[in-house]
């Protein structure tokens, strides 16, 4: 299969005060408030190739994610980022991926990295055949810098032509094909991951996650280019300093998304 290059940008800004629970340098029960904003970018380049003509495929490439944070009371972190390879073995049925094992070996850090910042997040997902239009889904995601493994479970249903429901935790989605090359997606998305902070005075692990609920439109501008625009609400944000036994929670903030996918 052809190489795919994906460029996404995400911007979120708070329009009101949000309640925050204490981070690494504050007692776990202290509550602070304040306005904050955030932004993130994601760039990846992936290539897939069939193994012996399919249905098994291997995929490889690179990913680079950066999350920027505005002034959040009790949080000294202003940026978290990663640079990693992506290595996958995938199984397809009729051009649809039904199972995959993916490794993301790389460095996950704040501003400065060293040899301690390595991690290899693992994603394992598989469909469970039930009927032609209804199937189960199960899997997990885990990593060295995760506090807990993340379960993946639910079902996938095609109730009508052009309608695809993915009722799968933690990222459910309803995808509606409006016409050829144009899709509407209503979805929940989990962003973030596990990272190691700078030495201040020593490195510690933090698991950052934001949960976004919103809508997006994807339009195939021409055969090699797909443009995606969307927005919604980031309903929850968490910085879990689990080694220190402290975490910080943020309230709801709006976000906007712009995506560009090029396939050749």
CATH of the domain at 123: 2.40.128
- In this structure, what token pair is assigned to residue 180? 């050829």
Query: Could you give the count of Cα atoms lying within 13 Å of 113 in the half-sphere of its Cβ?
Result: 15
Cα distance between residue 97 and residue 99, in whole Å: 6
**Would you state the pLDDT for residue 154?**
97
Q: How many domains in the chain?
A: 1
Cα distances (angstroms) measured from residue 81 to each of 109, 117, 220: 6, 11, 29
Strands, E, within 51-181: which ranges? Answer: 56-69, 79-93, 96-103, 106-109, 118-119, 122-129, 134-142, 150-160, 163-169, 173-179
- Kindly state the helix (H) or strand (E) to which residue 159 belongs, with its residue range: strand 150-160
Which one, of 140, 123, 8, 148, lies nearest residue 65 by Cα? 8
Q: Which residues span the domain enclosing 193?
A: 4-263
pLDDT by position in tens, the chain (length 264):
444 455 545 444 443 333 333 334 444 533 334 445 567 888 888 888 999 877 999 999 899 999 888 767 677 888 999 999 999 999 998 878 899 999 999 999 999 999 999 999 999 999 999 998 999 999 999 999 999 999 999 999 999 999 999 999 999 999 999 998 899 999 999 989 999 999 877 899 999 998 999 999 999 888 768 888 988 988 888 889 988 888 888 777 788 887 777 655
- Kindly state the helix (H) or strand (E) to which residue 262 belongs, with its residue range: strand 253-263
First to last CA, the chain: 9
Cα distances (angstroms) measured from residue 131 to each of 98, 128, 136, 175: 14, 9, 10, 20
**Would you state the pLDDT for residue 22?**
38
What's the burial of 204, exposed, middle or buried (CB within 10 Å: 0-12/13-18/19+)?
A: middle
What is the C-alpha R_g of the chain? 19
**Would you state the pLDDT for residue 75?**
77
- Cβ distance 227 to 262 under 8 Å? no
Handedness of CA 136, 85, 149, 21 (dihedral sign): negative
In eight-state DSSP terms, residue 119 is E
- Kindly state the helix (H) or strand (E) to which residue 250 belongs, with its residue range: strand 246-250
In eight-state DSSP terms, residue 111 is S
């Amino acid at each position: 299969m052809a190489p795919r290059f994906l460029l996404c940008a995400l911007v979120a800004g708070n329009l009101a005060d949000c309640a925050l629970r204490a981070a690494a340098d504050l007692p776990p029960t202290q509550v602070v408030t304040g306005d904050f904003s955030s932004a993130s970018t994601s760039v990846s380049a992936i290539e897939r190739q069939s193994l012996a003509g399919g249905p098994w495929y291997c995929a490889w490439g690179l990913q680079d994610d950066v999350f920027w944070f505005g002034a959040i009371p009790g949080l000294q972190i202003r940026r978290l980022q990663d640079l990693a390879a992506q290595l996958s073995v995938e199984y397809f049925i009729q051009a649809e991926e039904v199972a995959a094992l993916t490794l993301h070996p790389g460095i996950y850090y704040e501003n400065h990295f060293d040899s301690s910042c390595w991690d290899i997040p693992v994603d394992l997902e598989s469909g469970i055949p039930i009927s032609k239009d209804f199937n189960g889904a199960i899997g997990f995601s885990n990593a060295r810098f995760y506090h807990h493994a993340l379960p993946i479970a639910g079902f996938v249903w095609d109730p009508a032509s052009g309608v695809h429901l993915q009722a799968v935790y933690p990222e459910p989605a309803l995808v509606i094909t409006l016409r050829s090359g144009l899709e509407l997606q209503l979805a929940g998305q989990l962003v973030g991951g596990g990272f190691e902070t700078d030495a201040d005075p020593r490195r510690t692990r933090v698991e950052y996650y934001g949960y976004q609920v919103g809508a997006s439109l994807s339009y195939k501008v021409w055969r090699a280019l797909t443009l995606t625009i969307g927005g919604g609400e980031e309903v929850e944000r968490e910085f879990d300093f689990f080694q220190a036994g402290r975490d910080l929670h943020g309230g709801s903030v709006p976000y906007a998304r712009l995506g560009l996918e090029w396939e050749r």
